[in-house]
Structure 1
């Protein structure tokens, strides 16, 4: 049933079963006014406006119209918009069923249509899953191809060495049948038995001499083998470097008696003494001597390396 506060005229819905036949004292939750609510008349109760009401809490007591003690019934205000919606629901239910309206007509909760997810969500999610699958599948295919190439390369190199250059050229690692431009004829030359010492000379003062051997590890003969010596100070800085052709002999007597100009001329002879630097066969080692003059006192170490050579006379035109 719907009741109205005598003071603030706010309408409320109250369970009529809680009202005694002689009336029950109630308190307005808005203005706190206390008044007596009477039960509705049997016929007129269907035409009154409906309102939502909630009890103040458990343990509320009801008294008759003549009783003045005990807690008053508390009820809460509901917006007029909701009341009108409830009244419309009740009138609709009355027209359909001769009796009371639907049980949820007085629930006080607005019925909002449930939001359905957009129909495209599933399509979008399916497209995303398909895209992820394609991406994963692509990576799997690429990985299988790479592993296949690695395995094929291992088989070719291990069991068919003759096919290795062509296979490596196919995979882009090297270019087959093309000489390595970086090899100046020194890649397979090996320095052996290096020794460094000082010599006091008659004409050039104190000289530092590097003596050693260089071996030809190429499959064919080589000529004009050239080596370089480098002198470093105690800080590791380069002090002097000098080149000399292999095959030129300078013994201790020559170093002490010859002038510096004569010594340098011998080191620049690319044929070597008795043409020993003309056709150095594979596996053969030849002597070399590098002489330094006018060096500072803070010398620390020296290095030697082969820097170039040319194919021997027997294979003219071959490089590397």
Structure 2
């Protein structure tokens, strides 16, 4: 067994992990990703990346306060039959690519943007695997336009990708309209962590796909709510009551965004019997606004 010292990126608690000789036999081309479960080092969960010398090169963390919602009466998403390992090798994908890359690509998909992934020449053999990985993930939900090319191909055809999000390893090469804010990837990080922390490959893929479909399902439901929004006729007493409420809202400086968050939270609770955190609602509203091009400003204060 090999011992490796790690430091929690959340709380700086130090500890050791042990790696078996067998786990090091098929060391990936890049860095080895090791998931640190809660209570191994401290209460937090994170991923540590090791090089061939077992030196810590990077960490991947999530906001442990973010909770992904659970549908109490879950929709029955279509069953997923994984393709053969020859065309979708989950083991290689998990080993050879950093978690943050998947965070960036998912964000681009959720925003409905064209996406380009740049590969090193020695990783081209994974092109089909990666394409199938995202194609099967988004089946029956998000439509994607994903190009997987080498860095040299990108340099020769940069103009072709001027309206695309472009990623390579941990880098955002092209951030179209600066839509990706590193500080606003909490939910995407949590979704990807769920995928990487599950040791069963097929089940981890199913978990990831279900989170993507859940996001699509809830965002589309919000779109229907927004598009069908109609201001109902109100009596004079209701208008007076509304004006009083509006004055109270203004007095407490409640912004339009907060109003929308409150309305959407109530809608999801009533419609789908699901309690959703503020950060997840913001995540859904980005999908509503950018992927579905729906205008959430149609939601009025009168709907509170």
TM-score scaled by structure 2? 0.16
The structure whose residues are more often strand, as a share, is 1
Relative contact order, CA 8 A, sep 6+: which one is greater?
2
Q: Which has the higher helix share?
A: 2
Structure-1-length-normalised TM-score: 0.15
Larger Rg belongs to = 1
